[in-house]
Structure 1
Amino acid sequence: MNIISYIHPTRTYLPCTGIGRHINHILLGLAAQEGVNLELFFSQQWLVAENKLDPRCPLRELPKHTFPTAENATERKWKLWGSPSMDNYIPNDADWLYAPMETYIPVSKCPVAVTIHDIQAFEPNLPWSGTWQHRWFSYKWGRWVRRALSECRVIFTVSEFSKQRMVNLLGANPQKIVVVGNGVEQSFFDIASINPTQLHRPVEAPYVFIIGGLRRKKGASNVLAVADALHQRKSYLHIVVAGESEVEYIEAVKTRSNLTLLGMVSDQELPRLLRGASSLLFLSPYEGFGIPALEAMAAGIPAIVSNCASLPEVVGDAGIVVNPEATHEIVDILINLENNSSLRQEYIQRGEVHAAKYTWSQCVERVASTLKQFA
């Protein structure tokens, strides 16, 4: 099976977000499968020394095809007008054009499969749904998503929640939407066997860990409320945040002694930081999946997640699901997990069993078998 995979190379550079991890693991896994010939497809603007992708890209050694025009301008034309056709840049023997991310690509010589990780753009009841930014975002996505849902032979997504929202909000055909999920790297399972007291810690105090930065779309206001309530309760628990944060929240942290921002951390550092934490707090109001929750479980710490979108589905009964605005309830849980070793151990054991069900190899196999079935 000959697969041409369209990517945005910058999304794959390490360290990367959950979608970047999905792209890297799925494509490297497909390339390693017997009977699969996978080649990348992207704008030649991303080629650097030795006619390869940036060294930060784990996919740089894979064979490739490129098109000569700039990525942003070309993709904007695809989404607005359905042109220019990419048939001239794709080999004649291609069995599939596959994009492990959201896009629309005008191609007629082979079937197309794309991955839509979530449809946040069309959600009407999010805290920011009434903003002009969200309305503009929804308008732009509306120009191409429905066309992709209609014309692509297969639509992949990462959760049953995202699949159902495509059906409910956009009238998508559920028969062509396939849930492939996400996985957890082995490094998170490996770190679980190490005594956390032996690891270098970002702060001396026991800490709750947050992944995704302090951003509105990650529930930053609720995190600040939790920090304030911990301070009022005179708790020694600290909150440590990994990821890029928005300016207003960076300023807010300056007045809170129990909050530390680490910024972006490497993939090598993340398992250690998780393992050293008392728990993971993930109060995002909207996720298509939510990989950090599973990474926390694999690393051997409890995961506390919001009761929104896909998160209850992803953690099942192995995580603690909360109303992200129930600040005092959340603080009670955080303190109880730190002080009650039997409760903490119960959720650690549940989490490790649950996280073990999510492997990248299974995700790769779902993609490969679907492409064979729908060819």
Structure 2
Amino acid sequence: MSLMADAISEPPIFVNGRFFVQPVTGVQRVAREMTSALRAQYGSRLRVVGPARSMRQEAEGVAPVGCTSGQIWEQVDLPRYARGGVLLNFGNTAPLLHRRQLVIIHDAGIFETPKAYSWKFRLWYRVLQGLMARGGAKIVTVSEFSKSDLVRNLGLPASRVHVVRPGSDHMGRQRADAEILARHGLHPGGFVLVVGTLAAHKNISALNILARMLEGRSVPFVIAGGVGGAAFSAASAELPQPARYLGRVTDAELKALYESAACFIVPSLYEGFGLPAVEAMTCGCPVVAADIPALRESCGAAALFCDPRAPEQIAAVVLTLLDDAPLRERMREAALQHSGEMTWKKSAASLAAIIETL
């Protein structure tokens, strides 16, 4: 009887499903995969809710609630619906009026790279995250580097910020759509890939020299991803030329690109973790990464590193990799081994241990 009473007394766990109505970037990817992994652990105790006004049919397993949308829904409707339960927020923000909750803040970019964001976005996030830090929410982030940044910028004791690293095995479960290669005249092993936005901290403009060198070798330089968004500053970088810009691609198309690229480049000046780098590794793609703390942490010894502020060095490392087939094979094997340890099941288990303290 006591075991049954304990089970009945356990509070429900609600997931802030606002991310289901947003374009999928790294933040939304973490939210979707973490939710899926936690469902396997908590079963019916886990309830995912989203703003009814914005919900789309493809958001399967998400209960539409409330009568508003966006930030108003998150601050007003969500805490009202989740009253009495534990609330999980995976996308940097959370309602201020909920008592028992956890929020994943992926990085301290609004403080460390303010020029990359619009002033309205910076102001809202600084106010909101400052109030969350002074409240009782459990703060979680994705790397030790991000933890140190958040501790410093939000004035938190280190004990208030927990680290749960993302997984990358979702790419292994995805079936590749190779039609994207034929559609853009790409051949396996015959192009260099970048995935990202034109936000200033992604540092895409540092690849102009590489783009011209690749053109001289008749090697396509391929860029996939969105051009930014309302959150980012209008003073974003220009697209490197010459390059083949594919825009947003599906997960299946992205896997085909990762699997077929000669190498994948992450030239960022700032990251909280760098999920695309480990996604590429999961697909066996050699990675050239900016030598910054977050990418050192997430990629370990499985990537080649270069100074993101030295375009000539970036180009030299990439061309060395293209010219050295044995090196590419070693990097491919290192990538597969490194990323194989990064699973969402492990991530969810780490997060669940924090959830239980709520």
| C-alpha separation in 2, matches of 1:88 and 1:329 | 53
Counterpart of 2:15 in structure 1 is 5
Q: 1:183 to 1:353 in 2, by over 3 A?
A: same
Counterpart of 2:217 in structure 1 is 235
Deviation by residue 1:239-297 (Cα, 9 ceiling, x = unmatched)? 111112369999856x62xx101111111111111111110011111211111111111
| C-alpha separation in 1, matches of 2:283 and 2:78 | 43
TM (norm. structure 2) is: 0.84
Residue identity matched to 1:54 = R
| C-alpha separation in 1, matches of 2:93 and 2:199 | 25
Deviation by residue 1:140-177 (Cα, 9 ceiling, x = unmatched)? 22211111122133111111111110112221122121
Mapped pair 1:89 → 2:72: no
Q: 1:310 to 1:11 in 2, by over 3 A?
A: farther
41, 47, 52: which is aligned to 1:39?
47
15, 35, 54: which is aligned to 1:27?
35
Deviation by residue 1:181-216 (Cα, 9 ceiling, x = unmatched)? 111135448889xxx9xx758434621111114443
List alignment gaps of at least 5 residues for structure 1: 47-52, 79-83
- Contact 1:214/1:241, CA 8 A, preserved across alignment: no
Deviation by residue 1:284-339 (Cα, 9 ceiling, x = unmatched)? 11211111111111111211111235111111111111111322222222222122
Deviation at 1:139, TM superposition (A): 2.5
Q: 1:71 to 1:335 in 2, by over 3 A?
A: closer
Matches within 5 A, 1:70-149: 70-75=69-74, 78=75, 84=76, 88-92=80-84, 94=85, 96-108=86-98, 110-123=99-112, 126=113, 129=114, 134-149=118-133
| C-alpha separation in 2, matches of 1:12 and 1:185 | 22
Counterpart of 2:288 in structure 1 is 304
Q: 1:250 to 1:36 in 2, by over 3 A?
A: same
| C-alpha separation in 1, matches of 2:82 and 2:169 | 32
> Structure 1 stretch 238-247 or stretch 24-33: which is displaced more?
238-247
- Contact 1:298/1:351, CA 8 A, preserved across alignment: yes
Matches within 5 A, 1:324-343: 324-343=308-327
- Aligned residue pairs total 338
Q: 1:88 to 1:269 in 2, by over 3 A?
A: closer
| C-alpha separation in 1, matches of 2:71 and 2:258 | 36
Deviation at 1:357, TM superposition (A): 1.2
Calculate the aligned-residue CA RMSD, in Å. 2.9
Deviation at 1:42, TM superposition (A): 3.0
| C-alpha separation in 2, matches of 1:170 and 1:248 | 26
Q: 1:216 to 1:142 in 2, by over 3 A?
A: closer
| C-alpha separation in 1, matches of 2:298 and 2:322 | 23
Using the aligned pairs only, state the percent identity.
25
Matches within 5 A, 1:352-363: 352-363=336-347
